[in-house]
Structure 1
Amino acid sequence: MSEQTMRAIAIDQPGGPEVLTPHDAPMPYAYEGELVIKVHAAGVNRPDILQRMGAYPPPKDASPLPGLEVAGVVAQVGRGGTKFKQGDQVIALCNGGGYAEYVSVPAGQALPLPKGWSMTQGAALPETLFTVQQTLIDRAQLRDGQTVLIHGGAGGIGAAAIQMARLKNCFVIATASGDEKLDYVRSVGADLAINYLTEDFVEKTKIATDGQGADVILDIIGSDYVDRNIRAAAMDGTIVQLANLGGREATITMGLIVAKRLTLFGSTLRAQPNQVKARIADNLHTQAWPALESTQFIKPRITTFALEEASKAHAAMDAGDHYGKIILQTAFNQDAHS
């Protein structure tokens, strides 16, 4: 580490948004195979909330600072060779430390800032796209023309999943609450938007698919949604569990899993080895970047806060009525605030 310092956000102790504290931290260094990125913008994600609450500790070799995705400029390149050079504009999936003016990341987890995207917009991409690529595309093997049911369609992962599924020419069903969020999920490509507060997504999915059900289901709720997903799934369907916002325990009908020949799997991203994340990045660059740099991919709705307002950003996410992505902007960022 150098003797220079930067502004960063620390977690003083587990708790509410108020435990996020701006402070001076040592500047990171680019070791072999790493980049140091001068951060213009950093995404706020649900795992950051869990880390703040003490429920999702960082891996042993990761920065203790929160923050899993950034956009910025390469400030330093470590030994070992990389496709990036100093001054390149990039986005990156971080193992931690993104809530800061500088962050070190494995070079394989960085991708070029898509043409036509601002730094603020680019910072909304890594955590969501890496997650969707790894689960919906690489593991669930989503195929052209399938039916996909996406829960939490107005969130960052949900909106990204809708668009990735649209690139596969899939019929996309998404759940959300309230007219504004339902309009948003339609605007990013959902063919059918279901208000989960007033409508039965199992029944609506069955009606929309002539009784067949969804081929792939992406869920962040857990709890009673697990058994309902099983009932909404098609024969030989796949259910992907990304989070358990509704509760970690579930009662399921095993007979339906057997009868429908279903696959149910869970996934986390942060604990994956760097080599796995680099492979996901390569797949993304090949499969998604052409769409990102064209009109095929709609930019997400973004709410911004200054880096030192991280506690306000977390309070906004905790409130539960936001949709789209929440982004922190550093002093280096020249984008207009949303």
Structure 2
Amino acid sequence: MTGPPPILAVGAAVIDEWYAVSNLPEPDGGAFASEVTTAFGGVGANVSVALDRLGRDVGLVSRVGDDEYGRRAREYLADTGVDASRVAVGDDPSTRSVILSDPEGERAIVTAGESFRRLRLSEADREALAAAETVFLTGYTPDAVSRAALDAVESAADPPALAFDLSGSVEELVGRGTEPETVHRLLHAADLFVADAVAAAAYFGGPDAAVERVAAAQRGRGAGRRSAPPGDRWPRAVLTHGADGMTVVADGEVTAFDAFEVDVVDATGAGDSFVAGLIDRWLAESGGGGDARPERTGIAGGVRFAAAVAAINCTSRFAQPGLPSRDEVEAFLAARGI
């Protein structure tokens, strides 16, 4: 096993079963699938591959099953630049997702399979996380793994920057085994916190409450200051609203940004690619910001870069085929005068 890359993501690597449906069914409703196919996905893998496409040296900590799904996932990763040496193989069914995607690119996702839920960090994994420059965690990560990863990050002599994606509503995360106390701990340890409107509203008690509480916490507790002790700082936050843009809360200030208008083919993986863009610009070394607390211009530049990564990805089907290179993102922004 080689030394750890500077960026490590902890998350699932799955095969998505993708259904092109006539509509997303309502409760007790139905839909017709005009096409059924498979593609590679998973939050951890999506973020890792997106960073790899941007030219970053990144590795994935995950677990797959010793079955056809797991074999295909490992073969796919082997064809990318992602370091997959920390992807374990277990004897339980591989985690996989069923994705319903309607003609407008909106989707619903159901996940099954125990392989990722049974991930546990080895001592080598913990050492690699402590030695990394940037660590990404998702709310879908098994609770024991999130806690162990946090212990590793916080005990490091030079703690890595931490990005945390809430990923789902509290009710959904608890159903997957994530404890609310762990989410609370992640929020206070992170340098970057990202959540969609549903997840943020569920955790904070509403979309407006999410913005108000994060801003108030930042003003009172020193947002993202790496010199502050763990538990005594609050991360920069980005709350995403799909095609309606995103709200950034940084240093107690709130700024709204528009999403880029593109012809959406499939929104699967848009949030994960957006997070990867933020990690690239705000947390990774020499990424156009680097500092955990950039100036306001750095905030705007980082959000627009990440939004461009997501927008480009939405113009292709599935979570990863449309992930852009850095040159493609810069060309996209230049074409829009940015």
TM above 0.5: no
More helix by share: 2
TM (norm. structure 1) is 0.30
Structure with higher RCO (Cα < 8 A, 6+ apart): 1
TM (norm. structure 2) is 0.30
Structure (1 or 2) with the larger CA radius of gyration: 1
